[in-house]
Amino acid sequence: MNSRTLELWVGLFVAAGMAALFMLAMQVSNLSSFGGKDGYRLTAAFENIGGLKVRSPVTVSGVRVGRVDAIDYDFGSFNAVVTMEIDDHYRGFPEDTSASIFTAGLLGEQYIALEPGGAMQNLKDGDRIQLTQSALVMEQIIGQFLYSMAAEKKPGGTPPEAEPSQEMPSVEQP
């Protein structure tokens, strides 16, 4: 075949390859969430962040508004400090907004859910969210559960409308 056709085919091939790479980057990867549009940063301190990772999502009412940018540890307060990057699009969270770490589904990944408060002022770039709820750690929950079960059985620690406790009948000599 002549060189014109050859060049055409090679050009098509390279274009198809580039298109495939592009498609992979855009459709398949998380590129779209890089945005490029910078957002603003908020921090929050947690006792335990569980399985939260950098780039984990930050949602409000289920809507993804940003992602976790950095995770650090503060030796002053002995807490984990999470830095979140929120899209500029979503400004206007009240100052008393709370941040909790939830799990998506039963075995899914963990994310930060923001719950707006009712304050007059809004959070600005660099502000710290005061109200936080740490991740639920499986072992702690089980431990608490067992502890509260054991506490039900002990005398003095029972709830008010206790059933008559099953006491061993004392053997009384007639």
Partner 1 sequence: MFEAFRLLGRSTLGFLQRLGRANLFLGQTLACLPGILLRPGLVLKQIYSVGVLTLVIIVVSGLFVGMVMGLQGYNTLVDFGAEESLGVLVALSLVRELGPVVAALLFAGRAGSALGAEIGLMKATEQLSGMEMMAIDPVQRVIAPRFLAAFLSMPLLAAIFSAVGVYGGHFVGVGLLGVDDGAFWAQMQAKVDLYDDILNGVIKSIVFGFVAGWIALFEGYDAVPTAEGVSQATTRTVVHTALAVLGLDFVLTALMFGD
- Interface with partner 1 (CB under 8 A), residue total 27
Considering beta carbons, is residue 20 or 162 the nearer one to partner 1?
20
Considering beta carbons, is residue 55 or 128 the nearer one to partner 1?
55
Q: Does 173 interact with partner 1 (rule: CB under 8 A)?
A: no
Q: How many of the other CB atoms lie within 10 Å of CB of 48?
A: 13
Q: Measured at the alpha carbon of residue 26, what is the angle toward residues 25 and 29, in degrees to the nearest 5?
A: 60
Identity of the residue numbered 127: D
Supply the DSSP symbol for 94: B
Residue 40 and residue 84: Cα distance in Å, rounded? 8
Within 83-112, the residues that bind partner 1 by CB under 8 A are none
Supply the DSSP symbol for 111: E
Q: Does 166 interact with partner 1 (rule: CB under 8 A)?
A: no
Pick from 42, 52, 33: nearest CA to 114: 42
Work out how close the CB of 41 gets to partner 1 at its nearest, in angstroms, rounded to a whole number: 21
Within 51-80, the residues that bind partner 1 by CB under 8 A are 55, 57
Q: Does 2 interact with partner 1 (rule: CB under 8 A)?
A: no
Work out how close the CB of 78 gets to partner 1 at its nearest, in angstroms, rounded to a whole number: 27
Q: Does 119 interact with partner 1 (rule: CB under 8 A)?
A: no
Pick from 81, 65, 62, 85: nearest CA to 73: 81
Within 10-49, the residues that bind partner 1 by CB under 8 A are 10, 12-14, 16-21, 23-25, 27-34
